[in-house]
Amino acid sequence: MNAQELIREIRLFCQSHADPVIVKKYSRYFKEGYRGYGIPTETFTNKLKELLDSNTLAYDTVVEASRGLIASEPFEEGSFAILLLKGFRKQFSRETFITIEEWFPIGITNWAHADTVAGELLGPMILKGIISLNDFSSWRDSPYPFQRRVAPVAQIKPMKRHPVIRPYLDFIDPMMMDPERVVHQGLGWFLREMWKKDPAPVEEFLLKWKNDAARLIFQYATEKMAKEERLKYRRTGGQADRRTGKIGN
């Protein structure tokens, strides 16, 4: 099977199993907008397994097809691209990383795809030593918000295995004034996971940024803290948010 045949098979499958009721159900979870076929989860999973078990796919075919699938707007096509590539994780290399970088300009435009790429593709590549934290340096100021979100989120699993978290705090420091909500969520999630591993340096970092960074970062980062502990990270009275000019907590 070549790339075009794979794309055609996936699209015909999606069209034949579309359900507008499921589309309506999922739409509520995507503030950035959602367009999909509405494929039942079990139906999607069974088709994914069928493709991966068929012995008719090659790594290069999946990489080539991924560009067309990611660039297509319907949600499930991008999901097939990401999860089919995951099925070839034993063949991952730096070229795989470059392929994933190419996805963001053409079609990674929602949190679900971004977080799946981070957790299922990039995190394992870091743990295998194929790529490192430094490879994400340019992602921090990417013009694509979901690429910026992935920069910290991809580090969550590797960070948990690293003996110290200071390099990760240094890594995200330049991102703390990012203007995008989806990035704030990713940063807050990452800080929360770091805090669970090593609270003291994370608390120091949060205190440094409490008067300037977006409140949503702190909402996520302090979620597992006791209520009285969370109060320490409220913006000091009279201090304006440097991103918005607004004053308050």
The CATH number linked to 176 is 1.25.40.290
Total number of residues shown for the chain:
249
Tally the domains of the chain: 2
**Inside any domain, residue 108:** no
In a domain, 46, yes or no: yes
Question: pLDDT value at position 243?
Answer: 53
Q: Is residue 100 part of a domain?
A: no
Instruction: Give the structural domain span for 240.
Output: 116-249
Beta bridge partners, 247, equal: 240
| 245 and 122 belong to one structural domain | yes
Residues 6+ apart with CB under 8 A from 98: none
**Quick one: pLDDT at residue 242?**
52
For the chain, residues with pLDDT lower than 70 are: 237-249
- For residues 166 and 224, state if they share a domain: yes
Round to the nearest angstrom and report the end-to-end CA distance of the chain.
56
Instruction: Check whether residue 143 and residue 236 sit in a common domain.
Output: yes
User: Which of 175, 227, 160 lies closest to 205 in space, CA to CA?
Assistant: 175
Residue 239: predicted pLDDT:
53
Residues 154 and 48 in one domain: no
